[in-house]
Amino acid sequence: MRKQVLSSPFSSQLAPDLVAQVHIFLLQWYAAEQRALPWRATSDPYAILVSEIMLQQTQVERVLPKYQQFLALFPTLADLAAAPTADVISAWVPLGYNTRAVRLQSIARQVIAEYDGRIPDTIDELLQLKGIGRYTAGAIACFAYHKQVATVDTNIRRVLHRIFLGLEHPAPKLNDAQMLALAEEVLPEKEAYNWNQALMDLGATTCTSANPQCSSCPLQEPCRAYAEMSQYSLFPSGTVLRQLRKVAEKKTGYQSQPFTSTNRYFRGRVIALLRTLPTGHRMPLETLGATIKPEFTHQDLPWLQQLVEGLAKDGLLDYNESGACLP
């Protein structure tokens, strides 16, 4: 008997027949349409760890060439742990979110020090590694060690939400813990690897955030989001979804911030600039600020200092009163 993990207004949407239908449709689709990705051709926990950290908030197409290059430079966990941090950061460029490179090396060093160089195979132990959250722990346990576990990334969250709960706008109906409970509830027996990969593939190629290809989706029949969009159009599509999203955002007053004015953008510019310096050379804050931000003034110094101190705290640079440089 299927255990009832969720106790919520959505439990009635998890009828066994509906879940079984989704299993059949999605797994059949994945068997025929799965993407050939290099990290799917290995069970090496280290290689899978590298891929999972790289894929966080970065598209597969950008990760593919860097994944191969990174493993060529640091072919083993021990190689990564022993490398200078500046080399690891340089090898990570231009993936962005450079803190991931520092975090990855930190994980490698912790595994060497505390686990004799062997990446753990249980979620509880994986969560003891600093910088690994529940998704990455589940992904390593499932994809490297073939454990029967559920895990939830951005694509999986979106696909499960749309199939079983409906459109995610104006706001998702489940928090992180509830979404994980839903993922565990609908996990097919003995199919965790294929199921989790299938959900990610569908979310990346068909059930995308802004432009879902509903006409070619294998889950039209059981999908609640498809049924909701059908109320507004005979041909549910990305256009319908975007219109509904705009209405929701207008009601909530949400406005997105231009990327080029975000701290993330300037953090990336700081690291890119410091990479051009000779080894050991520091750049004063005033010079750094004027270079990354043409309209920089003395009044921006507290903002820049906070930005640089944050980068230093994340291990991405070294900072003192003389200025900043790569570690």
CATH topology of domain 44-143: Endonuclease III; domain 1 (1.10.340)
How confident is residue 218, by pLDDT bands cut at 50, 70 and 90? very high
Q: Say if residues 22 and 163 touch (Cβ distance below 8 Å).
A: yes
CA-based radius of gyration for the chain: 22
Q: Give 320: exposed, middle or buried? Use CB within 10 Å, 0-12, 13-18, 19+.
A: exposed
> How far, in Å, CA of 156 to CA of 196, rounded?
8
> How far, in Å, CA of 111 to CA of 78, rounded?
9
For 78, list phi and psi in degrees, rounded to 5. Answer: -65, -40
Residue-range domain boundaries for the chain: 11-35+151-252, 44-143, 259-325
Domains 11-35+151-252 and 44-143 alike in fold: no
Prior bond of 94 cis (ω within 30°): yes
Weakest-pLDDT range from 165-169, 207-211, 251-255: 251-255
Return the active site residues.
Answer: 52
pLDDT given for residue 252 in this prediction: 54
Kindly state the tokens that stand for 139.
């992904």
**Residue 140: strand, helix, or coil:** helix
Q: Which CATH architecture has domain 11-35+151-252?
A: Orthogonal Bundle (1.10)
For 323, list phi and psi in degrees, rounded to 5. Answer: 135, -165
pLDDT given for residue 220 in this prediction: 93
Q: What is the pTM of this model?
A: 0.75
Residue type, 62: R
How many CB atoms neighbour CB 293 within 10 A? 16
What lies within 8 Å, CB to CB, of 214 at 6+ separation is 220, 226, 229, 235, 236, 237
Q: Which residue bears the tokens 């949407």? A: 13
Q: Give 59: exposed, middle or buried? Use CB within 10 Å, 0-12, 13-18, 19+.
A: exposed
pLDDT given for residue 8 in this prediction: 46
CATH topology of domain 259-325: Arc Repressor Mutant, subunit A (1.10.10)
Residues in the chain: 327
pLDDT given for residue 83 in this prediction: 96
Is 116's pLDDT higher than 90? yes
Weakest-pLDDT range from 77-81, 238-242, 291-295: 238-242
How many CB atoms neighbour CB 149 within 10 A? 21
